[in-house]
Amino acid sequence: MCTRVAGLALCVAGLVLSGCGTGADQRAVRATTEGFYSAVQQHDGRAACALLDSDTAAQLVKDQQQPDCAAAVLKLELRGSKAQSAGVYATSAQVKLAGGDTVFLGWTANGWRIDAVGCRVVAGGGPLQCEETS
């Protein structure tokens, strides 16, 4: 019995460490992230906001003191455009972009949406600092 439990525990730990998402999930979070960064670079605030989690979009409007998300999202100072790596862990995901930004996503009824954007390592280490998070 202990051998089965230990084996199961090792298997679960391996899945957690390697990420539980399918290849389709990884492609989807990459596409969502790259689509968001592309929309911002093209000054298409409406398209960018459609890829944000609703709580993140609301917080962005408040933090940027803009009339709506479409205007607020264009105030962000983002770095990167092409996804270098993606990890999916059940209903959460992380995408690292060439250029330094890391993006966090969550699974919603509307698919993968961005929870935190423009996250970067700060000088001296420590947790990532994000341009916006919910």
Question: Helix, strand or coil for residue 80?
Answer: coil
What pLDDT, in 10s, does the model give residues 77-134? Answer: 999 889 999 999 999 999 999 988 999 999 999 999 999 999 998 887 778 999 999 8
What pLDDT, in 10s, does the model give residues 34-86? Answer: 999 999 999 999 999 999 999 999 999 999 999 999 999 999 999 988 999 99
Write the DSSP assignment of 14-65 as a string of letters. HHHHH----HHHHHHHHHHHHHHHHHHHTT-HHHHHTTB-HHHHHHHHHHHT
- CATH code: domain 20-133 is 3.10.450
Can you give the pLDDT at residue 20? 57
The pLDDT-based confidence of 15 (bands split at 50, 70, 90) is very low
pTM attached to this predicted model? 0.82
Can you give the pLDDT at residue 125? 77
